[in-house]
């Protein structure tokens, strides 16, 4: 058995990451690159150590699902994910200053819909 978990980044999350990158790029290439590098490092970290980020204790629905929160980009952005067997599923990448529960709930519905369409 592999020590590395499968990190799943749904297409809609990849799109969000690109949007954040290009928004940051408008201000500074270095800032955009740091954000992207920080995101990639976090994916690598949770691929090997999925329990390394704490369960988000801010919202009860996140606690119930065991959703974990990783911080990236000098704590300016967060990555929310959950563990399903040997899969780590990224469900939200968002600015930390936002009320990210709304984005999380929308993304979770989208993930579940896409999962049903894929026949999983």
Using pLDDT thresholds of 50, 70 and 90, give the confidence band for residue 100. confident
The reported pLDDT for the residue numbered 1 is 42
Q: So where are the chain's domains?
A: 6-118
Average pLDDT for the chain: 90
- Look at domain 6-118 and name its CATH class: alpha beta
Show Cβ contacts of residue 73 under 8 Å, excluding neighbours closer than 6 positions: 34, 35, 38, 39
CA distance 116 to 107: 14
Taking 90 as the threshold, does the pLDDT of residue 8 lie above it?
yes
Pair 92, 106: CB distance under 8 Å = no
The reported pLDDT for the residue numbered 60 is 87
Taking 70 as the threshold, does the pLDDT of residue 72 lie above it?
yes
């Amino acid at each position: 058995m592999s020590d590395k978990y499968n990190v799943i980044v749904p297409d809609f999350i990849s799109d969000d990451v690109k949007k954040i990158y290009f928004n940051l790029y408008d201000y500074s290439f270095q800032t955009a690159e740091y954000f992207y590098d920080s995101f990639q490092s976090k994916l690598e970290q949770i691929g090997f150590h999925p329990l390394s980020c704490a369960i988000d204790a801010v919202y009860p629905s996140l606690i119930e699902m065991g959703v974990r929160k990783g911080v990236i980009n000098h704590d300016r952005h967060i990555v929310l994910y959950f563990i399903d067997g040997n899969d780590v599923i990224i469900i939200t990448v968002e600015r930390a200053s936002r009320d990210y529960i709304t984005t999380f709930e929308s993304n979770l519905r989208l993930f579940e819909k896409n999962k049903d369409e894929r026949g999983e």
